Structure 1
Amino acid sequence: MPIALVTDSTASVHPTVADKRGITVVPLQVVIGSESYDEGVEGGVTTDQLAEALKAWTPVSTSRPNPDEMLEVYERLAGDGATEIVSVHLSSELSGTFESAQLASRRSPVPVRLVDSRQVGMATGFAALAAADVRDAGGSAEDMVAAAKERAAASTSLFYVDTLEYLRRGGRMGAAAALLGSALAVKPILKVDNGRVGPFERVRTSAKALARLEELAVEAAGDAEVEVAVAHLASAERAATLAERLTGRLAEGLGDREVTVGEIGAVLGAHVGPGMVAVCVARRTTHSG
């Protein structure tokens, strides 16, 4: 493997897919009470555990992999024969993971090309998969970086949350914005914009918010070929309904691709809270496989 590909666990790349596509996934950590868990690994925290802890107001926090942990990954890949590494991560505006990768890259035994996806969740995952497509087609590390950045920029990430309180508590949103979003029982829709998560629209009820989320996803897709992912935390029925409706409305753009549905990773889930439903619409680019 002359070019190794790395991402982090918030990218929501399923372990089976990561293994098949040759993507190394570095876990972030979730701390519940006094217990720390790696995300996305066997024996790690489950989304049910996370949702129950959040509902019970048990202290929950998250942490990035430190630079030494990232360096260990790069050194292992180099030892396995990699001559270059492409490392694709969630927005540097939301996590220190990219900074850890930067610091580790300076000590890596082989060159590391870094991608700040300016995205979260499956939008970062789609970026990593675009890089894998280019590598599988014989492209260079530089081509992989360009593909990942292009795919991330072509993706739209939208979230419905029952409350902004979890984002406020995690420091991902200011108290004033959280208070505004919670006023008069308004149900907020959030959007990732230039690497940050912020309020996008406010709707009066959860039913109207989910209907609006659907409309926004359809608008984001337009007439383009797309891949769509729906994620949730303790809201499986809502997510399944949204995925079913988007499958019908975006049939032409989806082609033979399915709308994927799954639970959000524990790290992102800790910041959005139970009841969250998210949708990522990733327009297919010139580098999409």
Structure 2
Amino acid sequence: MAVVVVTDASSRLPAEELTRWNIRQVPLHVLVDELDLRDGVDTIPYDIHERAHVTTSGATPGELGKAYRRALADSGGDGVVAVHLSAALSGTFSSAVTAAREFGPLVRVVNTRSAAMGVGFVASAAARCAAEGGDLDAVEAVARSVVPRGSAFIVVQRLDNLRRSGRIGATASWLGTALSLKPLLRVDVDGRLVLAQRIRTTSKAHAALVDQVVEVVGDRRAAVAVHHVDNHDAADAIGAALTERLPQIEALTVTDMGPVLAIHVGAGAVGVCVSLSD
């Protein structure tokens, strides 16, 4: 058998990628109108991020434990590497640590300190190592080695969602009240969402986003994912600009940000996740 990688729905990995690398995915939750909708399982309205009184919830220890138990059985006892959304952005990681205690050293939990494909890049690299015959220690080591090679940036159109979700609580002082402010945010080394640049217009913010990614990648090889919330045109334009300025990019994908992250960042947001090659 082989080590099995488990991740959560924040990873934005397409179904074919999950199947190809035998990655198991645990849903996150969208809570609306007394309904508990599971990202990746239930149908979630495309405009969920525009609705009032919508909240999100991470995967529970019970859900994670069930997923780990099945994955461990399917691995034939070889083990599980669990790769999850930043502990600073979601309670999923702490729930994963709690759930993993039941299995001792056979389940290893990795904090990606990222979100969206920042999580997906780590999960995919770990799963490829498993498919190549890597043992539990090797697969965990690959996952942990990819984490510091990742970067993530995002431009939001409105600040309401971030304020409401509490994801900018400690940094609210730099936001001010300017309606035209389009902050360029980044995920820092601890997996927190912090200010990278304070910008007044969307076009300049998107240009700064491209510049930041180009600076991070330099002349190295990298995989890049451009995410958006109902803003495909801007995401395509940013993807085209990155392809032109970074011809050495090994893979570039453009995809939605998913309902859970969309609820926190709001309509029109565009983000980029980068994973540098070793």
Range class of TM-score, shorter chain:
over 0.9
Q: Is the 8 A contact 2:2 2:135 kept in 1?
A: no
Deviation per CA, 1:209-244: give whole Å up to 9, x if none: 011111111111111000110000011110011111
Matched, 1:45 2:44: yes
2:170 and 2:122 mapped to 1: Cα distance?
31
What is the aligned partner in structure 2 of residue 186 from structure 1? Answer: 181
TM-score norm. by structure 1 comes to 0.90
Change (3 A) 1:169 1:134: same
Structure 1 residue 245 displacement after superposition: 1.1
1:22 aligned counterpart, secondary structure = coil
| 1:73 aligned to which of 61, 67, 77 | 67
Q: Is the 8 A contact 1:51 1:234 kept in 2?
A: no
What is the aligned partner in structure 2 of residue 262 from structure 1? Answer: 255
Q: Is the 8 A contact 1:164 1:178 kept in 2?
A: no
Task: Give me the identity figure in percent.
Answer: 37
1:126 and 1:167 mapped to 2: Cα distance?
25
2:177 and 2:131 mapped to 1: Cα distance?
47
What is the aligned partner in structure 2 of residue 108 from structure 1? Answer: 103
Matched, 1:197 2:193: yes
Please identify, of 138-147 and 105-114, the stretch whose mean Cα deviation from structure 2 is larger. Answer: 105-114
Q: Is the 8 A contact 1:163 1:188 kept in 2?
A: no
Matched, 1:206 2:199: no
What is the aligned partner in structure 2 of residue 166 from structure 1? Answer: 161
What is the aligned partner in structure 2 of residue 245 from structure 1? Answer: 241
Q: Is the 8 A contact 1:40 1:265 kept in 2?
A: no
Change (3 A) 1:135 1:181: farther
Change (3 A) 1:181 1:16: farther
Structure 1 residue 132 displacement after superposition: 1.2
2:86 aligned counterpart, secondary structure = coil
Q: 1:1-289 alignment to 2 at 5 Å?
A: 1-41=1-41, 43-46=42-45, 48-53=46-51, 58-83=52-77, 84-108=79-103, 111-174=106-169, 177=172, 180-183=175-178, 185-193=180-188, 194-251=190-247, 253-254=248-249, 257-285=250-278
1:247 and 1:33 mapped to 2: Cα distance?
42
Structure 1 residue 250 displacement after superposition: 0.8
Structure 1 residue 181 displacement after superposition: 4.8
Structure 1 residue 35 displacement after superposition: 2.1
Question: Which stretches in structure 2 are left out of the alignment for 5+ residues?
Answer: none
Q: Is the 8 A contact 2:85 2:115 kept in 1?
A: yes
Superposed CA RMSD in Å reads: 1.7
TM-score norm. by structure 2 comes to 0.94
Change (3 A) 1:80 1:176: closer
1:80 and 1:156 mapped to 2: Cα distance?
32
Structure 1 residue 154 displacement after superposition: 0.6
1:191 aligned counterpart, secondary structure = strand
Question: Which stretches in structure 1 are left out of the alignment for 5+ residues?
Answer: none
Change (3 A) 1:121 1:101: same
Change (3 A) 1:210 1:75: same
Q: Is the 8 A contact 2:6 2:71 kept in 1?
A: no
Q: Is the 8 A contact 1:30 1:37 kept in 2?
A: yes
Residue 218 of structure 1 aligns to which amino acid in structure 2?
V
Residue 104 of structure 1 aligns to which amino acid in structure 2?
A
Residue 44 of structure 1 aligns to which amino acid in structure 2?
T
Change (3 A) 1:81 1:206: closer
Please identify, of 119-128 and 134-143, the stretch whose mean Cα deviation from structure 2 is larger. Answer: 134-143
Q: Is the 8 A contact 2:122 2:147 kept in 1?
A: yes
